[in-house]
């Protein structure tokens, strides 16, 4: 009886320790620099007082060909904001981490000048690809893009 119990316990322990471990996701796993799907901008994501924000830190073409000066946020509907440079622009604002995703934030699209509600989550356990879903009202009415972590 003891031999059977010991054998059963050994099998359970071996099975438990050889199961693939799923990576536990923490809020700060999002931190770092991300390349957008169009491969024309890098966004650096930071934690500020428990919420997550992202600013543009690199542009493939930072200079406006017509003016020879820094690209401006000229698609913004607010005329005053059209004067600000795209470099350094805050794209992601106010995200909160909940379980395995970042939610309740907003994403600004400088190509359209529009702001959308947004949530983000990793596509797999490597934590190197980020699914970014921007939407109006409900998540079904929106667009998904994928960002890749910059090493």
Four-residue CA torsion sign, 125, 99, 114, 79: negative
pTM: 0.82
3 lies in some domain:
no
Q: What pLDDT is recorded for position 3?
A: 57
Low-confidence ranges of the chain (pLDDT < 50): 5-21
135 part of a folded domain: yes
Q: Is residue 112 part of a domain?
A: yes
**Is residue 5 domain-resident?**
no
Residues spanned by the domain of 77: 22-149
Q: Say what the pLDDT of residue 15 is.
A: 42
In a domain, 142, yes or no: yes
Q: Are strands 90-98 and 41-48 parallel, antiparallel or unpaired?
A: unpaired
CATH number of the domain at 49, please: 2.40.128.520
Residue 1 lies in a domain: no
Answer whether residue 132 is part of any domain: yes
User: Rounded to whole angstroms, how far apart are CA atoms 45 and 96?
Assistant: 12
- Look at residue 141 in the predicted model and tell me its pLDDT: 87
pLDDT of 12 reads 41
Task: Name the domain count of the chain.
Answer: 1
User: Can you tell me the distance from the alpha carbon of 21 to that of 17, in angstroms, rounded to the nearest whole number?
Assistant: 9
Structural domain includes residue 13:
no
Q: What's the residue count for the chain?
A: 151
Q: For the chain, what is the HEC assignment? A: CHHHHHHHHHHHHHHHHHCCCCCCCCHHHHCEEEECCCCCEEEEEEEECCEEEEEEEEECCCECCCCCCECECCCCCCCCHHHCECCCCEEEEEEEEECCEEEEEEEEECCCCEEEEEEEEECCCCCCEEEEEEECCCCCCEEEEEEEECC
């Amino acid at each position: 009886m003891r031999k059977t119990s010991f054998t059963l316990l050994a099998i359970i322990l071996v099975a438990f320790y050889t199961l693939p471990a799923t990576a536990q996701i923490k809020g700060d796993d999002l931190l770092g620099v991300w390349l957008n799907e169009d491969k024309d901008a890098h966004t650096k994501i930071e934690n500020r007082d428990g919420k997550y924000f992202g600013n543009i830190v690199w542009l493939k073409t930072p200079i406006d060909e017509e003016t020879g000066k820094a690209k401006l946020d000229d698609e913004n509907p607010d005329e005053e904001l059209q004067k600000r440079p795209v470099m350094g622009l805050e794209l992601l604002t106010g995200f909160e981490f909940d379980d395995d995703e970042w939610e309740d934030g907003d994403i600004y699209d400088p190509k359209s000048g529009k702001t959308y509600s947004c949530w983000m989550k990793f596509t797999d356990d490597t934590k190197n690809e980020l699914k970014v879903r921007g939407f109006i009202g409900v998540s079904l009415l929106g667009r998904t893009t994928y960002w890749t972590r910059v090493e």
